[in-house]
Amino acid sequence: MHRGRHSVQEEIMHPEQTGRNPHSFRNRETHEAYYLRMQRAREKVEKMGENKRKRKLRVCVATCNRADYSKLAPIMFGIKAQPECFDLDVVVLGSHLIDDYGNTFRMIEQDDFDVSSKLHTIVRGEDEAAMVESVGLALVKLPDVLHRLSPDVLVVHGDRFDALALATAAALMNIRILHLEGGEVSGTIDDSIRHAISKLAHYHACCTRSAEQHLIAMCEDHARILLAGCPSYDKLLSAHRRDDYMDIIRAWLGVDVKEQNYIVALQHPVTTDIKNSIKIYELMLDALISFNKKTLILFPNIDAGSKEMVRVMRKKGIEQHPNFRAVKHVPFEQFIQLVSHAGCMIGNSSCGVREAGAFGTPVINLGTRQTGRETGENVLHVRDADTQNKIYHALELQFGKRYPCSKIYGDGNAVPRILKFLQSIDLDEPLQKTFRFPPVKECISQDIDHILETQSALAVDLGGTNLRVAIVGMKGDIVKKYIQANPKTYEDRIERILKMCKEAVIDAVGLNCRILGVGVSTGGRVNPQEGVILHSTKLIQEWSSVDIRTPISDVLHLPVWVDNDGNCAALAEKKFGQGKGVENFVTIITGTGIGGGVIQHSELVHGSTFCAAELGHIMVSLEGPECSCGSRGCMEAYASGLALQREAKRLHDEDLLMVEGLSLKNDEVVNAGHLISAARLGNSKADAILRTAGTALGVGIVNILHTVNPSLVILSGVLASFYESPVQRVISQRALSSAQGIKVVTSDLEEPALLGAASMVLDYTTRRIY
């Protein structure tokens, strides 16, 4: 948003003054030296181009649709105005030549350009297969045209599938390519096509500093990248203040329409999610009908899904609706007037996030098609546009507002820069482009032992009593395990963790294990995104607000994942245990405390503040025993190992625990095991306590079933086998009939915390999401 306050010219000529450091240089001297070197390289290229060129540069501009022509036309006019420097050829293809999309090739002819070739390259069908066939048809027809024209440079714009065919043909025919608007990010399949064209192109004219940095990160040669700004800004910044703008508005929307009291709508399909695109389009039309304002709606582009969107439009009678004017094409000069004076623009066109910002026109961007674009404050995103009310509310918020004008994408001087850049091209320079790869370590030849290494994870489990570290293989096999007491202070604990991890990494070499990363399981509330333990359990002291990821990663030079021990148990079941292949399940740990994890749609649920699945603190009674969390009546206060130990001590203190067959040594601490043994030997008091505990746990699980409706409940921990039958009984008695059939099983994993910690690492190596 703040980028709009700096002109493109300022960013090109004075990068230091913008306050940004576009490269990770260690000091100012290196920074300045780099830019000096780039400037000298650019000047050398320009000088060589001026000295060596003995003829005019033959430039072929290929345009595929109405949108890219608005960007290419200013350049074409600039080239045409310098006949002493350039010869211009124009190739028209794609949707320009289709009647349903306005036969927009006519506006190119009206602009007095001689069209060298018209290629019918679109295979109708408006689905994924038709797009692929269209690319193939273009590749069949383009070689003859390019061979006949023999351009020195082909100018290609953007991210359309037609442009990919152009770049592919030119690259294979050894024709230099200048790509406009590369390096940008929009969030759809367009990104893949745009970046593919950038890799084929020899030269780049980009619009923003971020796009330039993306191209550099893609290993493109900085000397061949021009930060020019958007060519369409050259026209729109000078033309949108026409005196006859009201005549244009009335011509398209009627004589009664007033400035800033109408809407411009333009929605295209998202080819990677066509079904949702059509749903959003239908909801947008419903919202616009309800909003009851005059609306100019343009037909969608020719991408897969557009035919279905047009069907939706016609089904709703938009073309006959008195509030709507549906059109296939508006000349760019007039479209500028319509957008700049609109009360709002809605849809997912790049025009909304690019050109509209120059006028301060309010924009509502629907869905994900432009999510990655840089935008001004005039854009309101409705990424999850799943209801009509949500879109209607966005219209209420945006309609009629005015925002500060933004020049993120240009300052109106792109064309002179691009023409100068074209003139600097040295045709005697080798055609083969080179990539500027970052420094990498020297490659070490592999031997058979390296190839046969076992891919493994280093798993760390921080318990209240012990620290445990294990080397875990891909199949969940624990190759080696290390156990030491958990120190009481933060400094000693970190020191011991690092020492144990370093020892394990050294041992892994001898065990022929390749450590891929480190997974950490710990009690308490964890932010897994930052690797920070937010709040620890009472059993682990000095362990809140602790960044555990950084020290381990810094010492071992390995990626580190961190999560709560209950979540890790659920991940262990998902990868290695009873939850393998199950899309929705809940794991409940019944040990010293009670915790767990929830898997929904095969993904772990963390919650907005990372305290999802604190299952032990589900309240099952308003006036129950006090819980360690400070509340009363929690499931953990009834059914955890500590709760049973508390009740066992109470019975023992009242001489009500011991029965025939139960022995207790003088120095032995009473625990939950003694309570369970007493109940099995006929102690009615102990049996009643355990029944209450089982009921409390069962009631809590019934609440879970009614909340997240899993298909499976997995009980884990030392008390799991004891609680399986009581929990199943309570479910059959108290759950809704639709939930009574949900299966309860006992985990068969011996080390769920370690295996879950390892799974975070191992799932990453196989590119899965947890």
The residues carrying an active-site annotation are: 565
Angle between helices 161-172 and 128-149 (to 10 degrees): 40
Q: Report the alpha-carbon distance of residue 657 to residue 668 in Å, rounded.
A: 14
DSSP letter assigned to residue 682: T
Residue listed under structure tokens 């938009």: 318
For residues 373 and 406, the answer to whether their CB atoms sit within 8 Å is: no
Torsion from C-alpha of 672, 674, 675, 679, nearest 10 degrees = 140
Q: Report the alpha-carbon distance of residue 225 to residue 178 in Å, rounded.
A: 10
Q: Report the alpha-carbon distance of residue 615 to residue 717 in Å, rounded.
A: 14
For residues 694 and 724, the answer to whether their CB atoms sit within 8 Å is: no
Q: Which helix (H) or strand (E) holds 196?
A: helix 189-200
**Longest CA–CA separation in the chain, Å:** 112
Residue 442 in tokens: 């020297």
3-state secondary structure of 454: strand
Q: Report the alpha-carbon distance of residue 300 to residue 267 in Å, rounded.
A: 6
Alpha carbon distances (Å) from 614 to 64, 290, 607, 640: 56, 44, 10, 13
Alpha-helix runs per DSSP H in 201-323: 209-217, 231-239, 245-253, 274-291, 306-315
Burial letters 79-108, b for 16+ CB under 10 A, else e: beeeeeebebbbbbbbbbbbeebbebbebb
In angstroms, how far is the first alpha carbon of the chain from the final one? Answer: 33
Q: Report the alpha-carbon distance of residue 142 to residue 166 in Å, rounded.
A: 7
What lies within 8 Å, CB to CB, of 354 at 6+ separation is: 230, 232, 373, 409
Query: In the sheet where 115-119 sits, what is the strand order?
Result: 115-119, 86-93, 57-63, 153-157, 176-180, 203-206, 225-227
For residues 58 and 151, the answer to whether their CB atoms sit within 8 Å is: yes
Phi then psi for residue 312, to 5 deg, are: -60, -45
C-beta atoms surrounding 242 within 10 Å? 15
Q: Report the alpha-carbon distance of residue 636 to residue 643 in Å, rounded.
A: 7
Residue 180 in tokens: 């406009």
Which residues on adjacent β-strands are paired with residue 484?
467
**DSSP codes of every residue in 486-545:** --SSHHHHHHHHHHHHHHHHHHHHHTTEEEEEEEEEESSEEETTTTEEEE--TTSSS-SS
For residues 552 and 569, the answer to whether their CB atoms sit within 8 Å is: no
Residue listed under structure tokens 């390289």: 41
Torsion from C-alpha of 380, 384, 385, 387, nearest 10 degrees = -130
- With CA atoms as reference, report the closest residue to 378 among 391, 363, 368: 363
